[in-house]
Amino acid sequence: TEPINKYPVTDTFMDLISFFNNDCRSSLEGGKSATTNFHSDHAGGANFVFGDGSARLINESIDMVAYRALSTIRASDIANE
């Protein structure tokens, strides 16, 4: 996983055949899709909108395990303040 606000921003590739077959695994998990990092022009982090409608600035020094967990619906992770 690339850190928030990495420069330069990298390219995104989405394999549509895999997408329409419900195979949205990342290339790290054997899938064919590769996505860019999140990017923001906010100093020190990036704003994210969550499923509950709230928006928060996530610090760019966030632990990468927590950062990955927040970007998937696979687990029932809860973001603490």
pLDDT at 6: 62
- pTM, whole model, 2 decimals? 0.49
Give the span between the Cα atoms of 77 and 75, in whole angstroms. 5
**What DSSP assignment string belongs to 24-48?**
--BGGGT-SBB-PPP--SSTTEEEE
What is the pLDDT, as a whole number, of residue 14?
A: 62
Q: Any idea where the domains of the chain sit in the sequence?
A: 16-70
Tens of each residue's pLDDT in the chain, 81 residues: 566 666 655 556 666 777 677 776 766 677 665 565 666 777 888 888 887 888 888 888 888 788 777 777 666 666 665
pLDDT of residue 5: 65
The per-residue pLDDT for 45 is 86
